[in-house]
Homo-oligomer: A and B are copies of this chain.
Amino acid sequence: MSMSDGLTSDTNRGTERLVVIGGDAAGMSAASQARRLRGPDELEIVAFERGHFTSYSACGIPYWVSGDVPDRDRLIARTSEEHRARDIDLRMRTEVTEIDVPGNRVRARDLETGAESWTSYDKLVIATGARPIRPELPGVDAPGVHGVQTLDDGQALLDTLAALDATEGRRAVVVGAGYIGVEMAEALIKRGYEVTVVNRGEEPMSTLDPDMGRLVHEAMEGLGITMVNDTAVTKLLTGDDGRVRAVATEDAEYPADVVVLGIGVRPETTLAQAAGLPLGDHGGLLTDLAMRVRGHENIWAGGDCVEVLDLVSGRERHIALGTHANKHGQVIGANAGGGYATFPGVVGTAVSKVCDLEIARTGLREKDAHRAGLRFETVTIESTNRAGYYPGAALMTVKMLAEARTGRLLGVQIVGREGTAKRVDVAAVALTAGMTVDQMTALDLGYAPPFSPVWDPVLVAARKASTAVRKGTS
């Protein structure tokens, strides 16, 4: 990889240059934060984005598809023009094809013209995101089969749905029952589809233990969604017009006018791997606490392409979530801009909803705790989101894991109606602080009849867990 490969090379400059690969949450947060700390006379910032959009909310796509969010542009937090107005040299539709680590430069291709050139850097931010897991199934590329990772994906799905609007008895099959799967099931129900969800796991939401996933399963069936669990898709069947017409499993065929793939994502680290940068067991880049790529003083990485430290298990995990990507970007931008910040890790908090059912989790599931070598007690309680006598009081189920002997909180899962999702934040903070379930029983949580029973459901679970630890034979 010499400088004499015939390509133009942008190296001639007086100021320091920060190059950012990837123009979504992590990359552009890093760029913006660095710009806040260092003006353009001190730091040149060049950002490459291969797609059509910057800084958008992929998490918002299901609500755009459902119609709750009226148009695509509302999902864009900051446009390329806005970034450029802040003196960020943002090059859209330009894909970085190689990172030359020893040469401190990246090679990029303009996707419109095909032209390639090298750009040198003093500091590099890798924010290449994640790529959807697209199973190698016959028919997976047929018209009518859609992923929902990017705004382009969302637009393509909406175009398909618009063409189906006149069809009677429209049927949709969602493959996968994780966050994307259940949110897309809601979106398609709202658009008037008969929805079937085909799921490899024992229950939907494999980020929960199966006993809690069962509650989601029952609620989704109550919404009229057909749930097919413990089942792998074998192929996608197409009609004479080449469009998808059904999803086939070992045992059955599920007719479909449209198929949505919600199977999850993997870190997009092809470039990083080719450059010899360190990857973890889940395929994500490994960083230090300042989000520097391990062993590389002038390269940072963040967002969906990195692994993060799970503070409860002490291990690296891969979690693709916009809120982490934004925090990473903030930390990277502070450090690359000459300041100081760290990202200590995560506890694995995630919230979602299917219609009015809210789903929340943080910390370890039973199998995570086993895998981490922990012995633990598990309790599950039922309570309500409001005082029992207050109008609209609805059931809430809280499952709590506590370490045997020490009583340290290990994880919480909650399924219920209004007020469920963000209640898990109490447990997220308690996990971060290393609290025991016994300490949690005394937490001074907000109480008023419209918002909680006199014992908040999280406290009820903590009391029961505390008793289990005390009596525990584990």
Interface residues in chain A, defined as those with a beta carbon under 8 Å from any beta carbon in chain B: 25, 57, 59-60, 63, 68-69, 74-75, 77, 179, 321-324, 326-327, 330, 342-344, 346-353, 358, 360, 362, 387-391, 419, 421-426, 428-430, 432-433, 435, 439, 441-452, 454-456, 463
Contacts and interface: CB of A to CB of B under 8 A. Distances in A.
Contacts of A452: 422
Q: How many copies does the complex hold?
A: 2
A255 to B, nearest CB: 30
A389 B75 contact: yes
B352 A68 contact: no
Nearest to A440: B429
A344 B325 CA distance: 37
Contact of A446 (B428, B430, B444): B428
A351 B451 contact: yes
Given A327-B442, A390-B69, A448 B349 contact: no
Contacts of A60: 387, 389-390, 449
B447 A322 contact: yes
Given A429-B430, A433-B433, A444 B59 contact: no
A330 B441 CA distance: 10
Q: A326, A423, A454 — which one has the most chain B CB atoms within 10 A of its CB?
A: A454
Given A63-B449, A430-B429, A391 B68 contact: yes
A333 to B, nearest CB: 13
Nearest to A431: B444
A418 B336 CA distance: 38
Contact of A448 (B352, B388, B429): B352
Given A422-B423, A429-B433, A455-B326, A59 B448 contact: yes
A443 B311 CA distance: 11
Nearest to A434: B433
Given A322-B454, A455-B326, A349 B428 contact: no
Contacts of A430: 429, 433
B444 A428 contact: yes
B57 A454 contact: yes
Given A422-B423, A445-B425, A323 B455 contact: yes
27 contacts: A57-B387, A59-B447, A60-B387, A63-B389, A63-B449, A322-B454, A323-B445, A323-B455, A326-B454, A344-B442, A349-B446, A351-B446, A360-B446, A421-B446, A421-B448, A421-B451, A422-B422, A422-B446, A422-B452, A426-B426, A429-B430, A429-B433, A429-B435, A429-B443, A432-B433, A433-B433, A433-B435
A389 B428 CA distance: 25
Contacts of A351: 446-448, 451
Given A323-B455, A350-B447, A433-B433, 11 more contacts: A60-B390, A68-B390, A74-B389, A323-B456, A330-B463, A348-B444, A349-B446, A353-B448, A421-B451, A428-B443, A430-B433
